[in-house]
Structure 1
């Protein structure tokens, strides 16, 4: 299969250098985190916050792989040794070498910016829900995936809580590598087949043809190599090359502190100069479209890319039930990936994150990557109890914004009756043939 469609990382960005990038710039999944709301609807009379159920993406990060293992590094190094780089190619090779200096020890980890994102979320959670964290010993449960960057994100989050109230980190339980609930996409053969050969590819290629992706790729690669050497680069080579260079660019905003730490500046890493502004817009749309089709509601809100999130939905219900029985822990805090948060938002029926597209050409009217899964993206279920009535309300936040649940009504928006919410989601799980006590690993292995 032509690998053109794999331009997953391509997202919209400005022609300015990394130091000018601000969190408000839309970079799809590489958008730096900013809360989407700061002033909240008053809590109904008689209710107080008592419990938080949370899932978050890891913070802004470094590259996930060493620069030296990238195809771009190997190709530029070879071309340099053969003296087939033109002047622009030599400059690009220098930039890639500069990036290697920044990333050689940090790849696959969150950056300082990422840690600051998570600390900020934790501090705002404490400030907005102080009643949850009252008392001298507040038990917390932390769950992460097997990836180190999710553990680092949990640590940064705890640092934010500790800065607000030191005793909050004294009673924490850890559940590392909870991949059945948090990396569910790794275990489903049906989903893996969907990723490789699913109907989404046809939809993506339809959009790619309109955006003239092949032309963008060819024009980009032609800037750096002498004519005879260019003939040796097939379409797959060219696609991988632009993927790598664009991936290098999109990470710069996330590692700004680390770049400055090795005394580099905008000019030293100005990958943006090689992209035409109109092409960047097209690449951004295509990158978001691929995320929408493979991780979000896509063209079918009940597709396999959403159904694989059933274990996490069941886990949210189970952990909530456990809290209601024992009043512990006060918060279940999970740290995972964009591939976790996007399907979960879809299976939850969150407005603005769960609607499928009727036509891929207009998908960004119903779903925006920078609003759903930026770095440090998070979904919070915040529970409020009325002691006299022994009743619970729950409010849903997506990236700290109050959100509605499609198909679920309430007279006290954004607060929903928990019994109604639970029944609503149990009905959804039943439609997927999932029960709360099922073996979720087996479910993922067998889901169709």
Structure 2
């Protein structure tokens, strides 16, 4: 989808004014983790002869969502109000203020929730999961569902399960409730909390920001909205916070098409990206994505702290698969969580390209793209297949696409022997001081 950035006139508060004109076309690659989910295209992968799917472990991010905090609680909102009261907004600043006020109306009472787009994403995934794995849902299968404490994961689970039960009404869905140890592990590790604040990633981020001249861009953006005297009072940090807020608005509105229309606005009236140049959008997106790569992804170490913390979830995936093989009636384990869950798990599993560390941090985005790995409704599934001889194969899917596991040899195509997979992951857990029988909470509290 392309965004046409062009001048348009708006009548506001009795004053006619025109926005800054950018005669260029920008793509939507700047959305990063706010990229809308796209179903895979192409023919389905051929299942080895004699095998059929019998068990699924699914870990998914919540669907497209609203802001997690209201626009009026943002630094940008407060700064715009302050500047307006001092008559320090430029014509483009007045335009931005109007847009933020409109977004506030759209978001009122909806923050932290998934959007209509998010519900549609999850229902689509559920429908395709069922269609590709109908033998799993034959008879009266038991389906277990776990979520996190955040309402958007509950809403995502509801949307997904509602669609699944429409297709498999006989399924016995059991709500296991919140399991933050396996799904919000990043909040339960003191070492990771400290890393997130002051980890070794900060050196890489400073380098990237210098390479991309972020301070100059922040000042350039702020100067578009505030008059010179007011701008002089803003520190470098102020300019950064302001720009990040407005960039965040530019990325979130793509998830809110239905809600924007319902509130009586057009997409153009909330097109925050029209206030940036393409270069600015791409540069801000690069830094935003670097932050995800260094804190949630492989960074420079595929078994570093941001990845180790996913061990309780990996252990759970192995244990529940073992339980199925030992006679458990649960045919599908469905987990609904966050980007901070999916990305570390993909790396710990060794999924390509999610688990590729960068030797040259400047070019990290040549092989790691947030839009491909952790878009909205991102998901990981491992699907167990069985043949009439009692042999088991497993296929790994990232966003519904088969992927290779780095360091593990497939049996055929994109299918792996379960025995080899289980051994591989038990060894990986041991490498990071974990096991399938560990106390997950204690592990997270003690890991360094």
TM-score range, shorter chain: over 0.9
| 2:84 pairs with 1:84 | no
Q: Distance in 2 between matches of 1:134 and 1:14?
A: 45
Q: 1:297 maps to which residue?
A: 298
* Residue 141 (structure 2) aligned to one of 135, 138, 143: 138
Q: Is the 8 A contact 1:23 1:33 kept in 2?
A: no
3-state SS of paired residue (1:290):
helix
Q: Distance in 2 between matches of 1:261 and 1:418?
A: 49
Deviations 1:268-289 (A, max 9, x none): 2121222111121111211111
| 2:79 pairs with 1:75 | yes
TM-score normalised according to structure 1 size: 0.93
Q: 1:409 maps to which residue?
A: 409
Q: Distance in 2 between matches of 1:96 and 1:39?
A: 43
Compared CA separation, residues 13 and 241, structure 1 to 2 (3 A)? farther
3-state SS of paired residue (1:64):
coil
Unaligned runs of 5+ in 2: 7-24
Q: Distance in 2 between matches of 1:23 and 1:225?
A: 27
Shift of 1:164: 2.0
Shift of 1:83: 2.1
Q: Distance in 2 between matches of 1:64 and 1:301?
A: 29
Q: 1:357 maps to which residue?
A: 358
Q: Distance in 1 between matches of 2:219 and 2:26?
A: 30
> Please, which moves more after superposition, 31-40 or 347-356?
31-40
Q: Is the 8 A contact 1:15 1:272 kept in 2?
A: no
> Please, which moves more after superposition, 76-85 or 250-259?
76-85
Q: Distance in 2 between matches of 1:222 and 1:207?
A: 23
TM-score normalised according to structure 2 size: 0.93
Q: Is the 8 A contact 2:3 2:26 kept in 1?
A: no
Q: Distance in 1 between matches of 2:385 and 2:102?
A: 51
Q: Is the 8 A contact 2:30 2:282 kept in 1?
A: no
Stretches of 4+ aligned residues off by more than 3 angstroms? 12-17, 21-26
Deviations 1:397-416 (A, max 9, x none): 00000111011012312111
Q: 1:311 maps to which residue?
A: 312
Q: Distance in 2 between matches of 1:16 and 1:139?
A: 51
Q: 1:5 maps to which residue?
A: none
Aligned Cα RMSD in Å?
Answer: 1.8
Q: 1:339 maps to which residue?
A: 340
Compared CA separation, residues 350 and 15, structure 1 to 2 (3 A)? same
Q: 1:444 maps to which residue?
A: 444
Q: 1:112 maps to which residue?
A: 116
Give the structure with the larger strand fraction.
2
Q: Is the 8 A contact 1:204 1:360 kept in 2?
A: no
Q: Distance in 2 between matches of 1:202 and 1:153?
A: 36
Q: Distance in 1 between matches of 2:49 and 2:213?
A: 56
Q: Distance in 2 between matches of 1:255 and 1:47?
A: 42
Compared CA separation, residues 158 and 36, structure 1 to 2 (3 A)? same
Q: Distance in 1 between matches of 2:86 and 2:28?
A: 42
Deviations 1:168-212 (A, max 9, x none): 3xx211122210000000011111121111111111221111111
Compared CA separation, residues 275 and 123, structure 1 to 2 (3 A)? same
Compared CA separation, residues 298 and 71, structure 1 to 2 (3 A)? same
Q: 1:186 maps to which residue?
A: 187
3-state SS of paired residue (1:330):
strand
| 2:226 pairs with 1:222 | no
Q: Distance in 2 between matches of 1:434 and 1:13?
A: 46
Q: Distance in 2 between matches of 1:46 and 1:314?
A: 29
Shift of 1:37: 4.4
Q: Is the 8 A contact 1:13 1:280 kept in 2?
A: no
Shift of 1:166: 2.8
Q: Which has the higher contact order (CA 8 A, sep 6+)?
A: 1
Structure 2 counterparts to residues 34-113 of structure 1, below 5 A:
34-113=38-117
3-state SS of paired residue (1:306):
helix
Q: Is the 8 A contact 1:13 1:281 kept in 2?
A: no
Q: Distance in 2 between matches of 1:280 and 1:56?
A: 28
Deviations 1:13-47 (A, max 9, x none): 84559xxx999756210110012344222211221
Q: 2:237 maps to which residue?
A: 236
Q: Distance in 1 between matches of 2:434 and 2:29?
A: 40
Q: 2:269 maps to which residue?
A: 268
Q: Is the 8 A contact 1:180 1:311 kept in 2?
A: yes
